[in-house]
Structure 1
Amino acid sequence: MNQAKASIAVIGLGYVGLPLASLFLQYGHTVYGIDVDASKIAKLRNLQSYLSDFTSKEIRAMFAGGRFHVSDSFSDISKADAVILCVPTPLDRNFEPDLTYVQGAMKNALPYLRKGQLVVLESSTYPGTTEEELLPMIESTGLVVGQTVFLAYSPERIDPGPDQKELHLIPKVLGGVTEKCTKTAKAVYESIFDHVVVVSSPRVAEFTKLLENCQRLINISFMNELAVLCEKMNINLWEAIEAASTKPYGFTPYYPGPGIGGHCIPVDPLYLQWKAKQYGKNSKFIELAHHVNESMPDYVVQKVSQHLSANKPLAECKVFALGVTYKKDVNDLRESSALPIIQKLMEAGVTVNFHDPYINRIEIGGRSLNGVSLTKRIIQQHDCVLILTDHSSISYETLASFSHLVFDTRNATKNIEARKNIIVI
């Protein structure tokens, strides 16, 4: 394999796969982009982006060199030197790992694998997935991992949003099944990343990603727990965090919110928890952090309902939900705490409308809810505004001046001086 001019098949063209494909193209590789979602392929062929932080201009640049080929068929894998899986790894209804997408992608790829290829899994998953799931599937074709085909794991580290670090600057962790697997994967990734961090095995690489997100889940959940306590103690936790952050060592700021969302932070730790139970172990920290995170939507609904019901029945109340994505400045709804909050308010009889500059429609309890415009007239028709996502494009001072009451779960109103109608949850 000539890594300098390798052909790369990227399976899964979402928040991870599409930027990765773009990076390979920027460094002169030929890329075969594969996604089973035909609507994504159609948009790409029409030079349209479907990601909030990836522009149509960038899509046009990907096709400009004639080295980017997209399809919902897996047959192009036979043309590739390296096959990289960037597919979702969600949880099932029991909060256990769901490897359906990984297994399905690998199964579809098997007929087109050939000698000399490199296969890399980038999807976040529990330690052992690469060797326990992918390796047997690959070797069922007659190929031998480490001899005629090469297998490695390298966790994605993309942070979606306009402020994300340039992808090639983010150190790339990888671990191969054998030394030759590691060497082959390292050569491919070194052609596009400034720094490749080699670890001793796929299991270590898989664990590394879970470690990163377990730390964030536990620390943010701790802040959420403190937020509930501080409300009882009449202490502004945000102010305390800001003050504690002035310490030049030993303190890292984390911030509370309405519940942690996104595909990684609330999901990955439960992959580790599931795997730990196979070894007769249980992480109390992960368990408690998950419990706290899951309880935050109820806490937000309780606080809003408590204030509104003091003046009139909830069935007569109208709430304007501002922001429904899991984090600011993206169009990603995965695991967004805004959705259960809105659903719980509606189940309590409250009329809820929403506005999000990145989302036009959401599904709540089996029904569609269309977004509304952010205007003075519409805001004043509601009893309160509930800030669930702090998108940068919103003028919160103007919003507060129009509102009867503002509930702020993100401290988006911190710079507003007139605060009589603002309640930070």
Structure 2
Amino acid sequence: MFRPLALFIGLRYTRAERSNRFISFISLISMIGMTLGVAVLITVLSVMNGFDHELKTRILGMVPQATVSSSEIMTDWPDLAEDIKKDPEVAGVAPFIQLQGMLTSNGQVAGIMVTGIEPDYEKNVSIIGEHMVAGSIESLKGGDFSIVLGEKMVESLNLQLGDKVTLVLPEASPSPAGVIPRFKRFTLTGVFSISPEVDTLMAFIPMDDAAKLLRLPTGAQGIRMRLNDIFNAPLAAQKAAAAHPDKVLYPTDWTQSHGQLFGAIQMEKAMVGLLLFLIILVAAFNIVSSLVMLVTDKKADIAILKTFGASPRLITQIFMVQGVLIGVIGTIAGAILGVIFALTVSDIIGFINQSFGLHLFDAYFVDYLPSQLRVTDVLVITLASFALSFLATIYPARRAAKIQPAQTLRYE
């Protein structure tokens, strides 16, 4: 059976017993380092991708991606919404009225951002309908003074569906007893669960009821947009405002409210990826050192091969086979382990968190460790690892090819 001579001798050197066990140990450490580096890099980047995905789908699925708003109530908002929807970058539109206040029930008080919405339109720009754990968003009907709250807020106020909750507005109303805050009782008709940050911050009421609370005519304060590409939000908001010069519209977008969070995750992903890539680089340097020692150990064998007619190119290929073999085995093993860890790390950390009663994610916008494996990340990491292991073999292999048989065999 035909077998390339360089591959045959290189594999034989790899399998053969070596007189210097330290060289074998260094080669094993190089392979293990390559395996761990690739596995950890794939796992950590998958977790970073998971956080990035959760930010886009959960946080940016609830907060406005882009809006145009007016200082005055817009009674003709359906026409404005239809005009904005004609932009190919805009996937959905919905009217809103926004106000701030405090909720009080059962002796508990909490600040809240209340948004008046039209349920039929809201599903086009928000993911709230997909994350209802009780009731429905369609339960918000004008005149009923109903409210939908986040699960964490419901727990903190000790509420159940059908309970009454009081909304306190900062606007003061004059009365015979003096100036007092405005109060309005609402009925809890729905509970959603998105993330701890959103659940404790946002509430939804019918838009008509929001207008009544603010003593405004029936209409909308602004138009909220969902975009096909969230990175086009600033341009889309400015374009929508500029397209209606007859109205004084103020554009805003998610980069102003949550841009720092998204930028921090992107920066963290880049820096952590770079630092972990150094593990693979160290393993590649170990390949260099192990091959240099191997060349020194095999000087007599190299000299004999050259006396039998082996060319410098053949000697180079023999030692490159060994170095590449270490890199290939380490990279493939690391890629397999990395994929397994990336697919199971959420369950593993969740089990540890629950078993030991830890609260690892209380400070984050998600209550679990997200992970999203991307084929492109795996391919880039494995190809980079292959390339480093190949480059690491060039110097030792070329050094072996330059060995002079006469000078080497003189001392044997």
Shorter-chain TM-score bucket reads under 0.3
Larger Rg: 2
Task: Give the alignment's TM-score, normalised by structure 1.
Answer: 0.21
Higher RCO (C-alpha under 8 Å, 6+ residues apart): 2
Higher percent of residues as strand: 2
Task: Give the alignment's TM-score, normalised by structure 2.
Answer: 0.22
Higher percent of residues as helix: 2
